Amino acid sequence: MGIAASTVIHPSADVDVRTDIGEGTRVWHLAQVREGARIGAGCNIGRGAYVGPDVVIGDSCKLQNYALVYEPARLGDGVFIGPAAVLTNDEFPRAANLDGTPKTAADWDEVAVVVGDGASIGARAVCVAPVTIGAFALVAAGAVVTKDVAPHALVVGVPARRIGWVGRDGRPLVRDGDDWISATSGERYRQDGESLTLVP
């Protein structure tokens, strides 16, 4: 696919020619997009953001300034990554091997943060791989995610814990008997343990 003709890349950005970037995506000042990364259409990659090799980002995503998305992360469509948020990739980080030699790519196994469609990761949050953030979930600013987050869950704190549920618009849902409803859309959801399902 390559870099679409309508992509806007600031002259100070470092975008490898071996990337795929969709129509209408904008890459701002000092951002870095590494080889093999695939970014969908209509995305916004903010100032100083980092997209690692072979990272996959869906359509209509927004990486705010200085967000760091390390390989092999996978982001669905409509994902928001807040300013200075970090998606890690190493369960056992070390700079050197036991013999003192610097670690190379062959000395560790990359693990992914996977973010579902429509989910949002707040400013300065850290998602510690391997972890999956469910669709339309909301990770609060400053949270540290060490376990999978259910779709529509609102998680806060260190380590992150669920304190509620959010609708597809990111606003908290309100309990209504056995269900949860969105005050803005009227959508109704049913909770079953730690999962939430949209009621048809």
Q: Which domains does the chain have, with CATH numbers?
A: 8-92+109-167 (2.160.10.10)
pLDDT for the residue numbered 200: 86
pLDDT for the residue numbered 140: 98
Q: Among residues 151, 146, 147, 142, which one has the least CA distance to residue 193?
A: 151
Residue 63 has pLDDT above 80, yes or no: yes
The arithmetic mean of pLDDT across residues 58-75, rounded, is 98
- Report the range of poorest mean pLDDT among 5-9, 20-24, 175-179: 175-179
- Report the range of poorest mean pLDDT among 2-6, 128-132, 180-184, 192-196: 192-196
For residue 173, give the DSSP letter: P
Please state the pTM of the whole predicted model.
0.95
Spatial separation of the C-alpha atoms in residues 127 and 48, rounded to whole Å: 19
pLDDT in tens, 132-147: 999 999 999 999 999 9
Residue 192 has pLDDT above 90, yes or no: no
All residues at 6 or more sequence positions from 137 whose CB lies less than 8 Å from its CB, including other chains? 116, 119, 120, 149, 150, 151, 152, 153, 154, 155, 166
Beta bridge mates, 195: 192
